Chains A and B, each alone.
Chain A
């Protein structure tokens, strides 16, 4: 275990400069204090994964960055701008897109409407052809009710709709949760391809076998704190620790 924020952040990867800097982030749900000082960084072009047991505070971390947790303190800098006091609609317009754990597909919207819902926030989003190329199933189901899709298709839709917007910093909360291996594989390929396209991705995963196929770096969350961090190259050396952290 390491003490300070800087010590926790492993050497930067070959990719670009710092895009997200989280310092001493604390968050509350009403009276319950959930995050107790989260510190980590994400560099442009990286895939960074937050690991940790159920209830550790991974989702709360993403939601705090997105600005949808009522009470939060500390600092979250996105492209050097502090967004800890910014409302979530403005944060989205700065180029952060969020794919929630529960997927958030709207039942009163058909698949096309779900796909087209998030407004374009800046140029450079993926064109529809490319999205259908990544997720051919969606093209077949455009007129179905959003929640009539299978779990895997809903997950694809939840990812697909944020690729159009031009946001280049994606936060994906457990995209493989409860899905069949073939679909997990497809999502893995998608993430790899998005990385190649230049997206920066902050991923939350319980499945570190999956995470290891796409991530550059890892942070381990426990009881609302980051307790460790290492790069993909250091994964093998950290396996024992990781098993202890995750209890697997």
Chain B
């Protein structure tokens, strides 16, 4: 039983990263119509930003949670202003190729300086240790990652679905020309949206640093699964990508317990099944 709960926890943690990353992908896709293949690279940059902040600036984990997404978000907004914006109106394929190229360059640069091995990032003192829950031993940091990710996901959902700013965002996803003709600076909104999506990925990177170490290819490995999650969930719905993210993490964890041989492939098997039955994804709309 202990092992089952342990796998459940691992699943929830992976699910947290899937949710944060696929949420950002969905937000970016809605506004920019771009499938952001640079998402894994910016996730990695988030972890590296936390690493540099700590080791070069003496800035701790808590500040990194705030600053790393902002720094990487600004990097993303510069990418959007200088490159992505010129793809407006072109086929998805161009955005895919450009962001994929950006990912390769960014990962290549980091690999050049840091190789492929992991750099350590310590769990902050306040989150060290564990709790005995009776039925299982819960490392505090892991519990924190799950809860904090959930809070961030819900906050993002609230921002998009329940606020005035979110109404601009949803409206501009449907008809950017008309929203702009109402007096909203849509190009600036698009830039900020890309910054938000990228910032969420960077935040996931910071959260993962103490668990998975900091590696140039950490995002490249993860993003393949995240794209499968996105295909399963569909790009259409914010809540859909959050739920799908957590659910697939848990399913993966459970598979590791019940049938470990399939744990690396279960998400892809589900992806194929969903594609066969509902090609737009479970909550998706046609792109």
Contact = CB atoms under 8 A, between A and B. Distances in A.
A116 B174 contact: no
A107 B179 CA distance: 13
A89 B181 contact: yes
B171 A89 contact: no
Interface stretch (A44-52, A117-125, A131-139, A239-247): A117-125
Given A106-B174, A107-B174, A108-B174, A88 B181 contact: yes
A100 B178 contact: yes
A102 B175 CA distance: 12
Contacts of B186: 89
A68 B176 CA distance: 11
Interface in B12-31: none
A116 B170 CA distance: 13
Contacts of B178: 98, 100, 104
Interface residues of B, number: 18
B134 interface: no
- Residue among B164, B171, B173 with max Cβ neighbours from chain A (10 Å): B171
Nearest to B30: A108
Contacts, number: 58
Contact of B181 (A66, A106, A107, A113): A66
B167 A121 contact: no
A92 B175 contact: no
Given A68-B177, A104-B178, A107-B174, A118 B168 contact: no
Size category, A interface: 20 to 34
Nearest to A118: B182
Contacts of B180: 68, 87-89, 92
Contacts of A53: none
B167 A109 contact: yes
B181 A68 contact: yes
B104 to A, nearest CB: 34
Contact of A108 (B170, B182, B185): B170
A116 B164 contact: yes
A93 B183 contact: yes
A132 B121 CA distance: 59
Interface in B152-178: 164, 167-168, 170-171, 173-175, 177-178
B175 A89 contact: no
A165 interface: yes
Contacts of B183: 89, 92-93, 118-119, 121, 165
A57 interface: no
A229 interface: no
Interface string B117-161: 000000000000000000000000000000000000000000000
Contacts of B184: 89, 119
A106 B171 contact: yes
A49 B164 CA distance: 34
A121 B184 CA distance: 10
Nearest to B182: A118
Interface in B207-224: none
Contacts of A162: 182
A116 B167 contact: yes
Given A116-B164, A117-B171, 5 more contacts: A66-B181, A68-B180, A89-B181, A89-B183, A92-B181
8 contacts: A89-B182, A89-B184, A89-B185, A106-B174, A109-B167, A117-B167, A117-B171, A118-B182
Q: Nearest 8 CB-CB pairs, A to B? A: A92-B183, A118-B182, A108-B170, A88-B181, A113-B167, A104-B178, A106-B171, A93-B183
